[in-house]
Amino acid sequence: MLIRSKLMILSACTALAVALAPPVVAHHAFSAEFDATRPVLLRGKIVKVELVNPHAWIHIEVTKPDGSTEVWMVEGGTPNTLLRKGITKGTLPIGIEVVVDGYQAKDHSNRANGSDITLPDGRKLNLGSTRGTGAPGEPDPPGGPQK
């Protein structure tokens, strides 16, 4: 009887712990958020850089044909991935003009998944966010394409 009571208490505690656990946020595939049929080429000045997990964000002020400006958020890889590719906050100082090619978000907002960034000195660096995620022109990850 004592073992049965302990087992019931353990089961109740486990159920409570599972019920109160924070939700797990899954990492998304490229196709979950970005539209492969909407390539973008963004030219503008960097206004903010966020080297945070799980994805870095580079905010770029782009001048539209009518002369007005809008800020785009460009998703990059993890800070560690960018560091290994030579990208740091020092590489992306606020105010420099850059060119980013990538793919717009499916909701058509001013968000994009960045593929490459071209710096003022002509260096073209990979933003590390699309490799193996199903973005156009990218090789399939081991085990086949992500669903």
Model confidence over 25-43: pLDDT tens digits? 444 567 778 888 899 999 9
pTM: 0.70
> What is the longest distance spanned by two Cα atoms in the chain?
79
CB 81 within 8 A of CB 98: no
What's the token pair of residue 119? Answer: 């710096």
How confident is the model over 121-140, as a mean pLDDT? 68
Judged on CB neighbours under 10 Å (0-12, 13-18, 19+), 85 is: middle
On the question of pLDDT at 78 being above 80, the answer is yes
pLDDT band at 63 (very low <50, low <70, confident <90, very high): very high
pLDDT at position 19 is 55
CATH of 35-126, one of 3.50.50.60, 2.40.10.10, 3.30.470.20, 2.40.50.140: 2.40.50.140
Amino acid present at 10: L
Residues 126, 99, 39, 63, CA torsion sign: positive
DSSP for 51-100, written as a single string: --SS--EEEEEEE-TTS-EEEEEEE---HHHHHHTT--TTTS-TT-EEEE
